């Protein structure tokens, strides 16, 4: 398998056909099983739908099937000889935006569906903006339901132009446009016979070949210590290993490293995956490193290289997406989670909220409500070791946890 | 492929190990739910790798229906001994004996449903705050909605309409007293990934997964293992077939498939070509469209 794994999310407004598109991808790539098809055919007949309703494949909750909507992200898996895929099928309703954010935070690519009849809607803008905010570098805009606009190139071009004018203000380097009919299968897996004017790839062909490995940061060495391994058994009484997932750069045995925040130096003496010794470690590997000397190093600390260090900051300039039904105003206190570290935090200032349709800044309203996207300033009780999110998705992101309810209330990215 | 690309199995392994370490770091009393099936065996293997050279810092918990394949029990005991970890058994029979649950009766009677109160009881008794399981999103449509850290209230209930957001790999394990988390390190694995990983890592699994001759009963298109726990209808007769199991659950509900796959390579060939899902053989899922969602809400695995 030449390309490894591709994680992507399908987003867009309600009824733009996300679940149907995924059903179509699974069906045409022959990854639907007989008993699954039997079960949805039975359910479709019961509900009086013409043909098998492919959206029933992903709408797995009772409440979703009752209402014919998607409430939470469903994950689906399929493979072609070229690649393995993990799909996050995100809900379109504004009320469930936080579930869309959940799905998008781990995606390499976003498919934004647009209904060819309706054109761009508020949720199209919101989801595109969240894609940009979360630093997803690859986007495919699928203009869906082309069968319902007589396969019109004119209509397609109109939507493409409108989207381009909106997305010119977003930082998404790779955007592709594809006209499709998820219901009938045009340009999803097989080429459409109705749109000779389109000469680009089908959706599946594009997904199989898009190159995402280069998005990983191999320059800046970052190893947040997750867990210290001390066996306390007779055989390994003196063993002290630092377990974690490489967040950036390449660590090699023999490398000089600096532990932060202590600033103490040491040398990497071994790197292991399980009980197998390896020479180097890179993202997103989970490894255990040992060092030449015993230094003070525990969960929440970070190993880096001396000449390339993250910023140590207590005052953060962040963009957040607010995920809680409880509104927030400046002065509210939270627990902030960043890499393997936790810190008390207080919101000092709401700089602005964003009008999602126009991307205009709203500066005179400082109350943040659910699904708002805002720029805020936060102060933490102790310094965090951060990078700009655009350089590193792991060291540039955080969540806020409400100390009372213990719920995750915001997703944040740091621009430094 | 450059030097810095991971195969998809390596990437899934790295993710699973990361999740297990996060559990050990964030919780006071974590545990691994161990059924003896291939998925919980893989979770245990990942845990071994995550904490090597130390022992796995959490006990294995087995919810014992009493209707076990003897092969599974032997396998469990051998593994526990090899790993040097604690084994905690929650017994369905004990709850029945104490009158806390009532057994189903009739031809399709199974102890599947009353595993849930036994599991909850065990969690409360040992005050576990995180239970790692081998469930995968590709198994079933309700499971496709699962988070990695999946919150359970103080009645062990899952609220699928109102799950916590889960951003990047920043897992929030904070909870109120009495609540706990179910954690699923294998969320992103498929059945085929599991088999390919078992082959690659040379992981031992119970012999039941390989083709063998067994006395079975055909019922509603299923092939069920014949045992003293299965109530036969008048027209049903056990017969001997060459079969293997795709999942291992309670003896009375786990369907076998006819197969001559007696090596891992042959099993992988069969799984890759399969036209039915692995849980297609599970009577417990066939009860209704929402059978799994309903059980999960109550606290099932």
pLDDT at A94 over 80: no
Q: Does A46 contact chain B (CB < 8 Å)?
A: no
The interface predicted TM-score (ipTM) is 0.91
Give the pLDDT of residue A1: 44
Q: With bands split at pLDDT 50, 70 and 90, how would you rate the model's confidence at A271?
A: very high
**Which of A33, A76, A411 faces B165 most closely, judged by CB atoms?**
A411
* A284–B11 CB contact, under 8 Å: yes
Q: Does A274 contact chain B (CB < 8 Å)?
A: yes
Selected residues 298-337 of chain A with any CB under 8 Å from a CB in chain B: 299, 323, 335, 337
**Shared-domain flag, residues A179 and A270:** no
* A335–B174 CB contact, under 8 Å: yes
* B167–A60 CB contact, under 8 Å: no
* B8–A4 CB contact, under 8 Å: yes
Give the pLDDT of residue B92: 84
Give the domain-ending residue among A215, A238, A256: A215
Distances (CA, A) of A239 to A113, A191, A258, B46: 53, 59, 20, 20
Q: Report the gap between the CA of B222 and the closest CA in chain A (Å).
A: 13
Chain B residues within an 8 Å CB radius of A401: 172, 174
Q: Does A196 contact chain B (CB < 8 Å)?
A: no
Domains of chain B: 8-192+290-298 (3.40.50.620), 206-285 (no CATH)
A401 to chain B: nearest residue by CA? B172
Closest by CA position to A107, among listed A82, A130, A141, A83: A130
- Determine which of B46, B149, B166 to mutate to test the interface with A (most A C-beta atoms within 10 Å): B166
Chain A residues within an 8 Å CB radius of B290: 62
- Determine which of A1, A2, A4, A46 to mutate to test the interface with B (most B C-beta atoms within 10 Å): A4
Give the pLDDT of residue A145: 95
**Shared-domain flag, residues A330 and A228:** no
* A105–B24 CB contact, under 8 Å: no
Q: Does A381 contact chain B (CB < 8 Å)?
A: no
* B48–A274 CB contact, under 8 Å: yes
Q: Does A19 contact chain B (CB < 8 Å)?
A: no
**Which of A72, A101, A272 faces B163 most closely, judged by CB atoms?**
A72
Give the pLDDT of residue A33: 66
* A58–B161 CB contact, under 8 Å: no
Which domain CATH number covers A211?
3.40.50.300
- Domain of A203 in residue numbering reads as 5-215
pLDDT at A57 over 70: no
Q: Give the rounded percent of residues in chain A with a pLDDT score beyond 90.
A: 67
**Shared-domain flag, residues A115 and A203:** yes
For A335-349, A376-390, B36-50, B246-260, which range has the lowest pLDDT when averaged over its residues? B246-260
pLDDT at A370 over 80: yes
* A213–B4 CB contact, under 8 Å: yes
Give the pLDDT of residue B289: 65
Give the domain-ending residue among A199, A215, A231: A215
Q: What is the largest CA-CA distance in chain A?
A: 75
Q: What is the largest CA-CA distance in chain B?
A: 64
d(CA B215, CA B226): 6
pLDDT at A255 over 50: yes
**Shared-domain flag, residues A356 and A282:** no
Q: Report the gap between the CA of B68 and the closest CA in chain A (Å).
A: 27
Residue pLDDT, tens place only, B99-158:
888 887 776 677 777 788 889 999 999 999 999 999 999 888 888 889 999 999 888 888
Q: Report the gap between the CA of B11 and the closest CA in chain A (Å).
A: 7
**Shared-domain flag, residues A265 and A116:** no
Residue pLDDT, tens place only, B199-232:
999 999 998 899 999 888 888 778 888 887 777 8
**Shared-domain flag, residues A159 and A233:** no
Give the pLDDT of residue B253: 72
B297 to chain A: nearest residue by CA? A61
Q: With bands split at pLDDT 50, 70 and 90, how would you rate the model's confidence at A51?
A: low
Q: What is the average per-residue pLDDT within B290-298?
A: 75
Q: What is the average per-residue pLDDT within B272-277?
A: 71
Give the pLDDT of residue A253: 97
**Shared-domain flag, residues A133 and A23:** yes
Chain A residues within an 8 Å CB radius of B51: 229, 243
Give the pLDDT of residue B1: 41
Q: Give the rounded percent of residues in chain B with a pLDDT score beyond 70.
A: 94
**Shared-domain flag, residues A262 and A324:** no
**Shared-domain flag, residues A405 and A329:** yes
Q: With bands split at pLDDT 50, 70 and 90, how would you rate the model's confidence at A7?
A: very high
Give the pLDDT of residue A328: 93
* A274–B49 CB contact, under 8 Å: yes
A247 to chain B: nearest residue by CA? B169
Identify the residue with better confidence: A98 or B49. Answer: B49
Contact, A316 vs A356, CB < 8 A? no
**Shared-domain flag, residues A37 and A116:** yes
**Which of A1, A62, A285 faces B290 most closely, judged by CB atoms?**
A62
Residue pLDDT, tens place only, A185-224:
999 999 999 999 999 999 999 999 998 877 789 999 999 9
Which domain CATH number covers A281?
2.40.30.10
Q: What is the average per-residue pLDDT within A262-276?
A: 95
Chain A residues within an 8 Å CB radius of B277: 33, 35-36
pLDDT at A144 over 60: yes
**How many A/B residue pairs have CB atoms within 8 Å?**
187
Q: Give the rounded percent of residues in chain A with a pLDDT score beyond 70.
A: 93
**Shared-domain flag, residues A241 and A205:** no
Give the domain-ending residue among A256, A285, A304: A304
Give the pLDDT of residue B6: 85
pLDDT at A32 over 70: no
Instruction: Give the number of domains in chain A.
Output: 3
**Shared-domain flag, residues A346 and A382:** yes
Chain A residues within an 8 Å CB radius of B174: 335, 401, 406
pLDDT at A52 over 70: no
Q: Does A370 contact chain B (CB < 8 Å)?
A: no
Q: With bands split at pLDDT 50, 70 and 90, how would you rate the model's confidence at A28?
A: confident
């Amino acid at each position: 398998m030449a390309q490894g794994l591709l994680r992507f999310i399908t987003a867009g407004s309600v009824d733009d056909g996300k679940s149907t598109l995924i059903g179509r991808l699974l069906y045409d790539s022959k990854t639907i099983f007989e008993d699954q098809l039997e079960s949805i055919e039975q359910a479709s007949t019961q509900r009086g739908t013409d043909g098998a309703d492919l959206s029933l494949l992903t709408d797995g909750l009772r409440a979703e099937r009752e209402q014919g909507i998607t409430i939470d992200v469903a994950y689906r898996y399929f493979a072609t000889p070229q690649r393995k895929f993990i799909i996050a099928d995100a809900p379109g309703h504004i009320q469930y935006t936080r579930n869309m954010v959940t799905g998008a935070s781990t995606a390499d690519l976003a498919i934004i569906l647009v209904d060819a009849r309706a054109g761009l809607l508020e949720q199209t803008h919101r989801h595109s903006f969240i894609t940009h905010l979360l630093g997803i570098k690859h986007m495919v805009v699928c203009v869906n339901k082309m069968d319902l606009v007589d396969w019109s190139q004119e209509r397609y071009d109109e939507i493409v132009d409108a989207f381009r004018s909106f997305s010119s203000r977003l930082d998404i380097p790779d955007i592709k446009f594809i006209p499709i009919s998820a219901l009938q299968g045009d340009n999803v897996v097989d080429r459409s016979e109705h749109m000779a004017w389109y000469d680009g790839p089908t959706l599946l062909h594009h997904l199989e070949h898009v190159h995402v490995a280069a998005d990983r940061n191999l320059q800046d060495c970052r190893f947040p210590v997750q867990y210290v391994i001390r066996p306390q058994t007779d055989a390994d009484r003196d063993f002290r290993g630092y377990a974690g997932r490489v967040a950036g750069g390449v660590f090699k045995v023999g490398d000089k490293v600096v532990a932060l925040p202590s600033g103490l130096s040491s040398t990497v003496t071994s790197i292991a995956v399980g009980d197998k010794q390896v020479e180097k470690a890179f993202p997103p590997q989970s490894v255990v490193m040992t060092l030449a000397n015993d230094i003070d190093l525990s969960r929440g600390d970070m190993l880096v290289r001396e000449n390339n260090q993250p910023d140590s900051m207590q005052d953060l300039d962040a963009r957040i997406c607010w995920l809680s039904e409880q509104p927030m105003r400046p002065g509210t206190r939270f627990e902030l989670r960043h890499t393997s570290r936790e810190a008390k935090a207080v919101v000092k200032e709401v700089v602005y909220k964003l009008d999602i349709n126009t991307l205009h800044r709203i500066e005179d309203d400082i109350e943040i409500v659910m699904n708002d996207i805002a720029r805020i300033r936060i102060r933490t009780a102790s310094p965090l070791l951060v990078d700009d999110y655009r350089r590193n998705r792991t060291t540039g992101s955080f969540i806020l946890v409400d100390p009372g309810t213990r719920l995750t209330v915001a997703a944040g990215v740091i621009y430094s | 492929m450059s030097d810095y690309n991971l195969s998809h199995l390596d990437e899934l392994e790295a993710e699973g190990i990361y999740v297990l370490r996060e559990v050990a770091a964030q919780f006071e009393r974590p545990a691994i739910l161990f059924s003896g099936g291939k998925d919980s065996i893989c979770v245990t293997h990942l845990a071994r790798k995550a904490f090597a050279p130390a022992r796995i810092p959490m006990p294995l918990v087995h919810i014992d229906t009493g209707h076990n394949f003897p092969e599974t029990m032997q396998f469990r005991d051998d593994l526990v001994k090899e790993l040097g970890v604690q084994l905690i058994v929650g017994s369905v029979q004990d709850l029945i004996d104490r009158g806390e649950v009532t057994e189903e009766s009739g031809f399709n009677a199974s102890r599947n449903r009353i595993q849930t109160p036994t599991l909850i009881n065990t969690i409360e008794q040992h005050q576990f705050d995180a239970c790692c399981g081998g469930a995968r999103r590709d198994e079933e449509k309700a499971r496709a909605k699962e988070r990695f850290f999946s919150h359970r209230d103080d009645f062990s209930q899952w609220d699928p309409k109102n799950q916590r957001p889960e951003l990047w790999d920043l897992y929030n394990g904070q909870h109120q007293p009495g609540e706990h988390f179910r954690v699923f390190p294998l969320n992103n694995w498929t059945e085929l990934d599991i088999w390919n990983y078992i082959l690659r890592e040379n992981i031992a699994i119970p012999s039941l997964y390989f083709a063998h001759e067994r006395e079975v009963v055909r019922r509603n298109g299923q092939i069920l293992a014949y045992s003293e726990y299965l109530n036969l209808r008048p027209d049903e007769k056990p017969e001997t077939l060459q079969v293997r199991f795709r999942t291992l659950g309670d003896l009375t509900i786990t369907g076998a498939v006819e197969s001559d796959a007696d090596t891992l390579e042959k099993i992988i060939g069969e799984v890759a070509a399969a036209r039915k899902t692995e849980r297609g053989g599970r009577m417990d899922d066939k009860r209704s469209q929402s059978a799994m969602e309903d059980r999960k809400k109550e606290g099932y695995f």
